[in-house]
Amino acid sequence: MATKVNSTLGTLSRRSFIGATALGAAAVMAGGLEAVSPEKALASEGDGDETYVYTSCPMCNQSVFCGLKGTVQDGKLVRVEGNEQHSKPKPCLKGLTSLQYLYDPNRLLYPLKRTNPAKGIGEDPQWERIGWDEALETIAAEFNKAKETYGAPSVTFHSGDPKEHLPLFQRVAALFGTPNVSWGGAQCAFALAMSGILCYGATVTTMPSPETKVHLQWGSNIAWSLYPQPTAYKGMLDAKKAGCKYIVIDTRMTPTAVQLADLYLQPRPGSDGALALAMANVIIEEDLYDHEFVENWTEGFDEYKEYVAEFTPEKAEEITWVPADQIREAARMWAEAGQGTMWVSPHSTTHHSNGVQSTRAITLLLALMGYWDREGCRKLTPGVTGTADAEFRLTDLSGPLLDQRAGVDRWPVWSAMSTYYQNNGLLEYINDGIIHAGVFLGTNLMNFPQTQLVQEAVSTLDFAVAVDMHLNPWTHDYMDMVLPAAVCWERVAPFQSQPNGIIGSQAAMQPAGEAREDWQFLLDLGCALGFEEECFHGDLKAAMQAYLDAGGSGATVDDIQNALPGVYELPMAGEWSPKQYEKNGFSTPSGKAEFKSGLLEQLGFEGLPVYEEPHISPVSTPELLEQYPLILTTGNRVPWYVHSKYRHTPWLNQFMPEPIVNMSHEDAEARGLEEGDTVRIYNQFGEVRFKVAITNMMHPGNVEILHGWEQANSCLLIDRVFDPISGFPTFKDALCEIEKA
Ligand SMILES: Nc1nc2c(c(=O)[nH]1)N[C@H]1C(S)=C(S)[C@@H](COP(=O)(O)OP(=O)(O)OC[C@H]3O[C@@H](n4cnc5c(=O)[nH]c(N)nc54)[C@H](O)[C@@H]3O)O[C@H]1N2
Ligand SMILES: Nc1nc2c(c(=O)[nH]1)N[C@H]1C(S)=C(S)[C@@H](COP(=O)(O)OP(=O)(O)OC[C@H]3O[C@@H](n4cnc5c(=O)[nH]c(N)nc54)[C@H](O)[C@@H]3O)O[C@H]1N2
Ligand SMILES: [Mo]
């Protein structure tokens, strides 16, 4: 089917500008942008006309923010390198590729509106170029109509993982009156944060310091996911040289395991809770735990001890595939070191139906050893002053509305712990008539399990507008309007936190075409909705100043820009001194570290970190295992892609031009498969096609595919079952079979 795009310059086929970079239609769409060649990108330095600009890298979904320095010549950005004065001075390949991303000929540059009133899967939107004024007026009219008809909460402010717009996103939503605001934390790190907060009132993951004697690296291939690499990874290598022992627990033999592990354990996917409980079993049985800490500073130990007694290493070996002796060795290594830290993945143990409970079982290994708020352990160091922003976000204003959030009853623990709504229920919120319209900023609909149902539902909304750098059919085909966003080299807002202050961003140029930076779009939207005063009459600098003022630093926007390429330094909130809990207790219902969670019990959940099988697994669904004998993991990161992004960015795409499935020699051989074969991967939900890659990384019986491929969406194979505590999707609970296509 030929999909038409009407622009001022003619009618374009949708496929043509999404595909290869060199197409004429693509160049038209992108207003004549050219793909950058490596030679051009690293053009000469020092001919006198160059100026430098500085920004923080958003390429890993705005989660790492390494420092970037750009060289501008004749109004063009020609070179990207690290900013040595930034706390993360060395960007990875993705940071350097931000140059090619800026000049990507496939960028969306103009607001588009749908002209085909028929929506739904297979319908061609027939995009037509419009101006910003028309776009903003239409959005405001549609949102106000939904507000009058169904109330303001019927409009969702939906965000994927990008984060820089969130303070203003929340502010405009609060002004409009809707609490149904989402962020990427609904699928990403917040379940991990919840696991720590439920136990300690604080998050738990930390990098090892030079004093650390043992570090537990649980399900995070940090060498590739670059989170927050490469600076932090160097710290890990340095700690190893200083004598820190590493226990790496990962379902794959990763580069992180190979480089760091003194002891490597390879569990069955989703069985982590049982493994952690068995380590606790050994530590308690062998009386290796910290009696002083456990007796004085924890809650629920006796019941925990009784529960943990069931999880002998031998029983855990049956559940987890990890030999009992290795479990004993890991437990002793952890307990006997005296100073320990842990880094747990934001997604690997939490993308299971038992996610939060399993992750709590892991984090409680800190409580058992009293590895809390002392040297070489998880230290609760005070940050800098002057960066608070709740006042700017107006989350207090939305406070009384919080009970009206969609999903409050379905996911009470999430709703009690977050001011955002749990967006994984979007399908049901729409189908149940709760949500009728929305803005989808930086959103990828492929991230919802059973994507096709969500696409159908979104297409029934009265009005939906997306904001993105690219026109992505898997998301935008179901929208009424798509607006072009600026990339990092074209934007100035907001600021980034640094360990010693705040750092600003400079734009190298005006946004290409009619792209706008997200903060500017949100200010303009707020004004169109009638909140001119509260949205600073659309003045970006005034908004940024208000954001700074809310933090109370006393800094001006100019102060921060003038400090570049350095950091605008702020005073520390105080000196760290150990064991603050002895004075202040823990921020939990009991005031202690909780083996048994008071909040979970209060909300009707099991207080102990109980182990349950994933809802789909060789143990819980043996009938499915007969047809689908392989455990399917989706979403382990690769260095060159971030979710659905960069699939058409040549410097990154060259490393993995097509979808591949990683599998063991044994599993490939048993199916007569060879490297490069195209295969069908299927289960009770559907089928996707990948190419075989045979690797020693995988445990026989477990295969993995990356998410975010338009042509092979992994979420078609994932059930719509969620962790009842966090509401997280079960991206890593699936079985499948593979055969040659
Ligand atoms: N199967 C499976 N699915 C997963 C995961 C998994 O492990 N397995 N992991 C989950 C996790 S942890 C996460 S964090 C999510 C990520 O989920 P998303 O963030 O929804 O995923 P992306 O594909 O990065 O989509 C982001 C979209 O925002 C656009 N964008 C990027 N930056 C900006 C910006 O600054 N402004 C605007 N306006 N748009 C922007 C991009 O072009 C892209 O279209 O994926 C989740 N999905
Ligand atoms: N290059 C790149 N960097 C990224 C991203 C990206 O898409 N690309 N995404 C960013 C985001 S949003 C996130 S959330 C972080 C993620 O950061 P990380 O958590 O470090 O992500 P991964 O590198 O995928 O590491 C997860 C590891 O968990 C293992 N694993 C999978 N299932 C299980 C399980 O059930 N149990 C155990 N024990 N291990 C398991 C996998 O084998 C994998 O090695 O990375 C961020 N950085
Ligand atoms: Mo994430």
736 and 627, same domain (yes or no):
yes
Model confidence at 191: pLDDT above 80: yes
Convert the pLDDT of each residue in 417-469 to its tens digit.
999 999 999 999 999 999 999 999 999 999 999 999 999 999 999 999 999 99
Nearest ligand to the CA of 230 is: 2
265 and 375, same domain (yes or no):
yes
Q: What pLDDT does residue 227 have? A: 55
Q: What pLDDT does residue 720 have? A: 98
Nearest ligand to the CA of 707 is: 1
Find out whether the beta carbon of 712 lies less than 6 Å from any atom of ligand 1.
no
Q: Which atom of ligand 2 is nearest to the CA of 223?
A: 23
Find out whether the beta carbon of 251 lies less than 6 Å from any atom of ligand 2.
yes
Model confidence at 243: pLDDT above 80: yes
> Ligand 2 pocket check: which of 248, 348, 357 to mutate, most ligand atoms within 8 Å of Cβ?
348
**637-657 b/e with 16+ CB inside 10 Å = b?**
bebbbbbbbbbbbbbbbeebe
Q: What is the mean pLDDT of residues 256-267?
A: 97
Nearest ligand to the CA of 516 is: 1
Q: Can you say whether residue 641 is alpha, beta or left, with left for phi > 0 and alpha for psi between -120 and 50 degrees? A: beta
Convert the pLDDT of each residue in 248-257 to its tens digit.
999 999 999 9
Residue 729 per-residue DSSP state = B
| Torsion sign over Cα 55, 58, 64, 68 | negative
729 and 633, same domain (yes or no):
yes
* pLDDT confidence tier of residue 289, bands split at 50, 70 and 90: very high
Q: What pLDDT does residue 397 have? A: 77
Of 83-87, 398-402, 607-611, where does mean pLDDT reach its minimum? 398-402
Q: Domain for residue 307, yes or no?
A: yes
Find out whether the beta carbon of 233 lies less than 6 Å from any atom of ligand 2.
no
Residue span of the structural domain in which 345 resides: 203-379+587-602
Find out whether the beta carbon of 169 lies less than 6 Å from any atom of ligand 1.
no
**CA dist., res. 156 & res. 133, Å (int):** 22
> Ligand 1 pocket check: which of 169, 349, 468, 721 to mutate, most ligand atoms within 8 Å of Cβ?
468
> 494 or 624: which carries more pLDDT confidence?
624
Residue 722 per-residue DSSP state = B
Find out whether the beta carbon of 182 lies less than 6 Å from any atom of ligand 1.
no
Q: What is the mean pLDDT of residues 720-731?
A: 98
* pLDDT confidence tier of residue 396, bands split at 50, 70 and 90: confident
Count other C-beta atoms under 10 Å from residue 444's C-beta: 21
> Is residue 384 a contact partner of residue 646, using CB atoms and an 8 Å limit?
no
Q: What is the CATH number of the domain that holds 700?
A: 2.40.40.20
Q: What is the mean pLDDT of residues 617-636?
A: 98
Find out whether the beta carbon of 249 lies less than 6 Å from any atom of ligand 2.
yes
Q: Domain for residue 184, yes or no?
A: yes
Find out whether the beta carbon of 645 lies less than 6 Å from any atom of ligand 1.
yes
Q: Domain for residue 498, yes or no?
A: no
* pLDDT confidence tier of residue 77, bands split at 50, 70 and 90: very high
Q: What pLDDT does residue 22 have? A: 30
* pLDDT confidence tier of residue 399, bands split at 50, 70 and 90: confident
Nearest ligand to the CA of 637 is: 2
254 and 163, same domain (yes or no):
no
Q: What pLDDT does residue 235 have? A: 87
Model confidence at 513: pLDDT above 90: yes
Q: How far apart are the first and last CA of the chain?
A: 24
* pLDDT confidence tier of residue 541, bands split at 50, 70 and 90: very high
Residue nearest atom 1 in ligand 2 by C-alpha distance = 639
Convert the pLDDT of each residue in 665-700 to its tens digit.
999 999 999 999 999 999 999 999 999 999 999 999
Expressed in angstroms and rounded, the spacing between residue 453 Cα and the centre of ligand 2 is 26
Q: Domain for residue 614, yes or no?
A: no
Domain-terminating residue out of 102, 123, 149: 102
ω into 230 cis (within 30 of 0): yes
Of 24-38, 478-492, 702-716, where does mean pLDDT reach its minimum? 24-38
- Measured in whole angstroms, the distance separating CA 695 from the mean position of its chain's CA atoms is 27
180 and 219, same domain (yes or no):
no
**CA dist., res. 265 & res. 253, Å (int):** 9
> Ligand 2 pocket check: which of 637, 661, 695, 704 to mutate, most ligand atoms within 8 Å of Cβ?
637
List, in order, residues 6 or more apart from 543 with CB less than 8 Å away: 168, 493, 519, 523, 535, 536
211 and 180, same domain (yes or no):
no
**CA dist., res. 515 & res. 450, Å (int):** 32
List, in order, residues 6 or more apart from 615 with CB less than 8 Å away: 353, 621, 719, 721, 730, 733
> Per residue, what are the HEC states of 277-333?
HHHHHHHHHCCCCCHHHHHHHEECHHHHHHHHCCCCHHHHHHHHCCCHHHHHHHHHH
Q: Domain for residue 670, yes or no?
A: yes
Find out whether the beta carbon of 518 lies less than 6 Å from any atom of ligand 1.
yes
> Is residue 632 a contact partner of residue 707, using CB atoms and an 8 Å limit?
no
Model confidence at 714: pLDDT above 50: yes
* pLDDT confidence tier of residue 20, bands split at 50, 70 and 90: very low
Find out whether the beta carbon of 188 lies less than 6 Å from any atom of ligand 1.
yes
Q: Which atom of ligand 1 is nearest to the CA of 483?
A: 38
Q: Domain for residue 580, yes or no?
A: no
Model confidence at 600: pLDDT above 70: yes
Find out whether the beta carbon of 695 lies less than 6 Å from any atom of ligand 2.
no
Q: Which atom of ligand 1 is nearest to the CA of 644?
A: 23
* pLDDT confidence tier of residue 136, bands split at 50, 70 and 90: very high
568-569/593-594 β-pairing: unpaired
Model confidence at 285: pLDDT above 80: yes
**CA dist., res. 371 & res. 377, Å (int):** 5
* pLDDT confidence tier of residue 49, bands split at 50, 70 and 90: confident
120 and 81, same domain (yes or no):
no
Convert the pLDDT of each residue in 298-344 to its tens digit.
999 999 999 999 999 999 999 999 999 999 999 999 999 999 999 99
Residue 181 corresponds to which tokens in the numbers above? 């605001």
Of 238-252, 268-282, 394-408, where does mean pLDDT reach its minimum? 394-408
Mean pLDDT of the chain: 92
Q: What is the CATH number of the domain that holds 323?
A: 3.40.228.10
Q: Domain for residue 582, yes or no?
A: no
Expressed in angstroms and rounded, the spacing between residue 637 Cα and the centre of ligand 2 is 5
Q: Domain for residue 506, yes or no?
A: no
Residue nearest atom 19 in ligand 1 by C-alpha distance = 161
pTM for the full model?
0.94
* pLDDT confidence tier of residue 25, bands split at 50, 70 and 90: very low
Residue nearest atom 9 in ligand 2 by C-alpha distance = 642
Expressed in angstroms and rounded, the spacing between residue 61 Cα and the centre of ligand 3 is 8
Find out whether the beta carbon of 447 lies less than 6 Å from any atom of ligand 1.
yes
Q: What pLDDT does residue 50 have? A: 87
Find out whether the beta carbon of 60 lies less than 6 Å from any atom of ligand 2.
yes
User: What are the distances in angstroms from CA 276 to CA 22, 322, 341, 357, 704?
Assistant: 52, 11, 15, 11, 23
Find out whether the beta carbon of 704 lies less than 6 Å from any atom of ligand 1.
no
> Is residue 366 a contact partner of residue 380, using CB atoms and an 8 Å limit?
no
Q: Which atom of ligand 2 is nearest to the CA of 639?
A: 1
Number of domains in the chain: 4
Q: What pLDDT does residue 44 have? A: 52
> For the chain, what percent of residues have pLDDT higher than 90?
87
Q: What pLDDT does residue 42 have? A: 56
Expressed in angstroms and rounded, the spacing between residue 118 Cα and the centre of ligand 1 is 27
Find out whether the beta carbon of 184 lies less than 6 Å from any atom of ligand 1.
yes
Model confidence at 45: pLDDT above 60: no
Count other C-beta atoms under 10 Å from residue 3's C-beta: 18
395 and 365, same domain (yes or no):
no
Convert the pLDDT of each residue in 100-118 to its tens digit.
999 999 999 999 999 999 9
416 and 465, same domain (yes or no):
yes
98 and 39, same domain (yes or no):
yes
Q: What pLDDT does residue 14 have? A: 32
Residue 25 corresponds to which tokens in the numbers above? 């239609």
Expressed in angstroms and rounded, the spacing between residue 731 Cα and the centre of ligand 3 is 12
Q: What is the mean pLDDT of residues 618-625?
A: 97
Model confidence at 28: pLDDT above 50: no
346 and 464, same domain (yes or no):
no
**CA dist., res. 471 & res. 294, Å (int):** 54
Nearest ligand to the CA of 708 is: 1
> For the chain, what percent of residues have pLDDT higher than 70?
93
**CA dist., res. 427 & res. 434, Å (int):** 10
Find out whether the beta carbon of 470 lies less than 6 Å from any atom of ligand 1.
yes
User: What are the distances in angstroms from CA 400 to CA 177, 403, 426, 429, 675?
Assistant: 10, 7, 22, 20, 57
Find out whether the beta carbon of 713 lies less than 6 Å from any atom of ligand 1.
no
340 and 208, same domain (yes or no):
yes
**CA dist., res. 478 & res. 438, Å (int):** 12
Domain-terminating residue out of 574, 602, 630: 602
Find out whether the beta carbon of 225 lies less than 6 Å from any atom of ligand 2.
yes
User: What are the distances in angstroms from CA 570 to CA 20, 200, 656?
Assistant: 47, 28, 43
Model confidence at 7: pLDDT above 90: no
593-594/298-299 β-pairing: parallel
Nearest CA among 331, 298, 301 for reference residue 316: 331
Find out whether the beta carbon of 349 lies less than 6 Å from any atom of ligand 2.
yes
Q: What is the CATH number of the domain that holds 431?
A: 3.40.50.740
> Ligand 2 pocket check: which of 62, 159, 218, 227 to mutate, most ligand atoms within 8 Å of Cβ?
227
